[in-house]
């Protein structure tokens, strides 16, 4: 007997066609209204002849599954088995400094002590620490060196040293190596791009908050110094050259700038950079230091879909799903945020907050980069009890935001950050946007 997977979501089109998707396998199918009716009928009468498309819905696609299979238990086992026993990538968020030349009002790092940046002695020690880590953890096969901050390019000297030292370490341990950077983009000049491109540069993420006036009102420097022009010039330099294949542009979105984001998308489209840019939306939420006005998930989904529709209509690639998991970098077995003082954390959102430190590069240990607070997978129990179909693309949501909501104590790490309404509305809308016109 076949039944519809617990991870199957559906989205209906105006003409009655139905798009079905399994959030676990990623399979997407579209059926006409009459075919969907025939499917529903047959599922209740499986002794009769089956519709001709049923076989393609089972097997690896898992839109239909065998009745009686405990899909949640299977998924949870696979999640833990994969996380614990198939960990081959080390994601190192390397923070040369926590200082930043921008003064964005919503930054998660507002309120922390930004310190003085990484000393040469700490840098050298970090290289030795990672060298030893590779010896102790032979299962690591890939090193992602991700520059983060603060603004990492305020310390180009450290970035330059790290690129050389860590890529050499990767070579020594026969690791695949790649460079990534999360930057506000203001200092990402051609000479920096040239430098990064020599070290297998795979990813850059730059945030824009809207058209020039909106961006400059939110992501400005000291004394309201505007930043859009420099950042945009650097984006055009990247999209007009071959230093990196794609530029990730993050569009921050909250109640103050949402209406302006489509204008930004149209502005970018007029520059003709659609094929060199990958857009993503970052919903601004409260941090430990900054209270952001709460907005409804339904509103977030509506705003995001307006942006994605505009992006699609202007020739940008758009995602066909919205995900928040199931595993983030903080929950990975081999991952760390290396802070300028040599302390280690799991999540870059807690940079500069000592209570989230789990270790440092000065103390020898054979343990993997472990913070048990991020291994609290019982936080998924409520999701399973509720039979949430979004679990495979959510994983209980962001631990950091769950912690912010719950006051940041130890118990808050056991809480989930449920955004089911947002996941529902946004994913249904993205399916319609991505597949609705292919009729």
Partner 1 sequence: MEATTKTVPNQVPTNNQSQLVNRPSPTVILKEGKNELRFGPVVTGQIALGKDGCGY
**Restricting to residues 225-254, which ones interact with partner 1 according to CB under 8 A?**
248, 250
**Restricting to residues 185-224, which ones interact with partner 1 according to CB under 8 A?**
203, 205
**CB-based contact 303:253 (threshold 8 Å):** yes
Maximum Cα interatomic distance, the chain, rounded to a whole number of Å: 74
Q: Residues binding partner 1: what is the number (CB under 8 A)?
A: 80
**Restricting to residues 19-78, which ones interact with partner 1 according to CB under 8 A?**
19, 22, 24-32, 34-35, 37-38, 42, 48-53, 55-57, 60-63, 78
Rounded to whole angstroms, the Cα distance separating 79 from 208 reads 34
**Restricting to residues 164-183, which ones interact with partner 1 according to CB under 8 A?**
182
Does residue 341 touch partner 1 according to CB under 8 A?
Answer: no
Q: How far is the CB of 108 from partner 1 (least distance, A)?
A: 7
**CB-based contact 79:327 (threshold 8 Å):** yes
Nearer to partner 1, 148 or 232 (CB): 148
Nearer to partner 1, 123 or 383 (CB): 383
How many beta carbons lie within 10 A of that of residue 125, not counting itself? 15
Does residue 329 touch partner 1 according to CB under 8 A?
Answer: yes
Nearer to partner 1, 122 or 432 (CB): 432
Site string for partner 1, 121-160 (x = CB under 8 A): ---------------------x-x-x--------------
Task: Using DSSP, state whether 395 is helix, strand or coil.
Answer: coil
Q: Considering only 16-24, 123-131, 215-223, 360-368, which stretch makes contact with partner 1 by CB under 8 A?
A: 16-24
Q: How far is the CB of 2 from partner 1 (least distance, A)?
A: 15
Q: Is the dihedral of CA 327, 330, 331, 335 positive or negative?
A: positive
Q: How far is the CB of 121 from partner 1 (least distance, A)?
A: 28
b/e string for 58-92 if b means 16 or more Cβ within 10 A? eeebbbbbeeeeebbeebbeebeeebeeebebbbb
DSSP assignment string, 191-253:
HHHHHHHTT-EEEEEEEE-SSHHHHHHHS-BGGG---HHHHHHHHHHHHTSSS-S-EEEEEEE
CA angle (396 as vertex; 391, 397 as ends), nearest 5: 110
Q: Among 273, 332, 353, 402, which residue interacts with partner 1 (rule: CB under 8 A)?
A: 332
Q: How far is the CB of 339 from partner 1 (least distance, A)?
A: 15
Q: Among 255, 317, 370, 379, which residue interacts with partner 1 (rule: CB under 8 A)?
A: 317
Does residue 303 touch partner 1 according to CB under 8 A?
Answer: no
**CB-based contact 376:122 (threshold 8 Å):** no
Site string for partner 1, 353-392 (x = CB under 8 A): ---------------------------------------x
* CA 292 to chain CA centroid, nearest Å: 20
Does residue 434 touch partner 1 according to CB under 8 A?
Answer: yes
Q: Among 320, 375, 405, 406, which residue interacts with partner 1 (rule: CB under 8 A)?
A: 320
Phi, psi (5° rounding) for residue 376?
A: -90, 75
Q: How far is the CB of 91 from partner 1 (least distance, A)?
A: 5
**CB-based contact 12:431 (threshold 8 Å):** no
Q: How far is the CB of 49 from partner 1 (least distance, A)?
A: 4
Q: Among 123, 288, 348, 356, which residue interacts with partner 1 (rule: CB under 8 A)?
A: 348
Task: Using DSSP, state whether 21 is helix, strand or coil.
Answer: strand
Going by C-alpha positions, the residue among 87, 98, 167 that lies closest to residue 338 is: 98
Does residue 86 touch partner 1 according to CB under 8 A?
Answer: yes
* CA 282 to chain CA centroid, nearest Å: 9
Q: Among 168, 245, 280, 354, which residue interacts with partner 1 (rule: CB under 8 A)?
A: 280
Q: How far is the CB of 395 from partner 1 (least distance, A)?
A: 8
């Amino acid at each position: 007997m076949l039944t519809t997977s617990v991870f199957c979501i559906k989205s209906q089109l105006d003409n009655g066609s139905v798009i079905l998707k399994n959030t676990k396998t990623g399979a997407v199918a579209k059926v006409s209204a009459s075919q969907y009716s025939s499917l529903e009928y047959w599922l209740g009468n499986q002794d009769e002849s089956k519709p001709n498309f049923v076989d393609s819905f089972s097997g690896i696609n898992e839109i239909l599954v065998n009745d009686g299979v405990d899909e949640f238990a299977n998924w949870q086992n696979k999640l833990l088995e994969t996380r614990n026993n198939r960990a081959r990538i080390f994601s190192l968020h390397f923070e040369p400094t926590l200082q930043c030349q921008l003064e964005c009002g919503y930054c998660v790092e507002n309120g922390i002590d930004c310190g003085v940046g990484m000393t040469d002695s700490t840098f050298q020690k970090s290289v030795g620490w990672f060298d030893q880590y590779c010896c102790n953890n032979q299962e690591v096969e890939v090193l992602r060196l991700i520059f983060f901050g603060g603004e990492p390019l305020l310390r180009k000297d450290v970035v330059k040293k790290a690129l050389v030292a860590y890529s050499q370490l990767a070579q020594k341990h026969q690791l695949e190596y790649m460079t990534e950077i999360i930057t506000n983009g203001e200092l990402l000049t051609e000479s920096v791009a040239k430098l990064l491109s020599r070290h297998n540069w795979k990813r850059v993420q730059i945030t824009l908050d809207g058209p020039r006036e909106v961006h400059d009102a939110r992501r400005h420097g000291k004394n309201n110094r505007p930043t859009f022009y420099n950042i945009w010039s650097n984006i055009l330099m990247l999209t007009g050259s071959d230093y990196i294949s794609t530029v990730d542009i993050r569009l921050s979105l909250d109640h103050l700038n949402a209406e302006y984001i489509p204008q930004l998308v149209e502005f970018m489209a007029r520059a003709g950079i659609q094929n060199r840019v990958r857009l993503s939306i970052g919903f601004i939420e409260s941090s430990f230091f900054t209270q952001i006005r709460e907005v409804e998930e339904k509103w977030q989904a509506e705003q995001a879909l307006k942006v994605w529709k505009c992006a699609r209509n202007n020739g940008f690639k758009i995602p066909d799903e919205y995900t928040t998991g199931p595993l983030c970098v903080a929950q990975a077995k081999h991952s760390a945020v290396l802070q300028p003082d040599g302390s280690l954390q799991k999540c870059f959102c807690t940079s500069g907050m000592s209570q989230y430190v789990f270790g440092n590069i000065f103390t020898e240990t054979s343990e993997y980069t472990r913070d048990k607070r991020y291994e609290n997978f019982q936080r998924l129990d409520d999701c399973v009890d509720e039979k949430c179909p979004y679990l495979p693309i959510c994983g209980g949501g962001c631990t950091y935001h769950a912690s912010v909501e719950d006051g940041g104590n130890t118990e808050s790490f056991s809480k989930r950050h449920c955004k089911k309404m947002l996941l529902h509305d946004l994913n249904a809308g993205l399916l319609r946007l991505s597949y609705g016109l292919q009729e």
